Amino acid sequence: MSYVNLPPGNILQNLYLRERLEFYSKSLSEKKFLEIGSGKGYVSSVFLKMGWKGIGIDLNESACENNKKLGLAN
């Protein structure tokens, strides 16, 4: 099983994302992100919960509306 094959919201997927974020937090001075192809915002929501600020971009109009609900700049 790999990260790519995990269903959205899977606990292992969230743990993987949190581990990556903790790594990035130690390496980067600014907590900002750009998610291209943000879809329903699963990845962005983890970043936001950890205090990051970001932009989500998607071609799908409903995905962009969801990004606004999450508090992402669009």
pLDDT in tens, 20-65: 878 887 888 888 889 898 888 878 887 888 888 888 888 888 888 8
Find where tokens 């990845």 sit.
Answer: 43
| Terminal-residue alpha carbon distance, the chain | 33
Written as six digits, the tokens of 73 are 């700049």
pLDDT of residue 60: 87
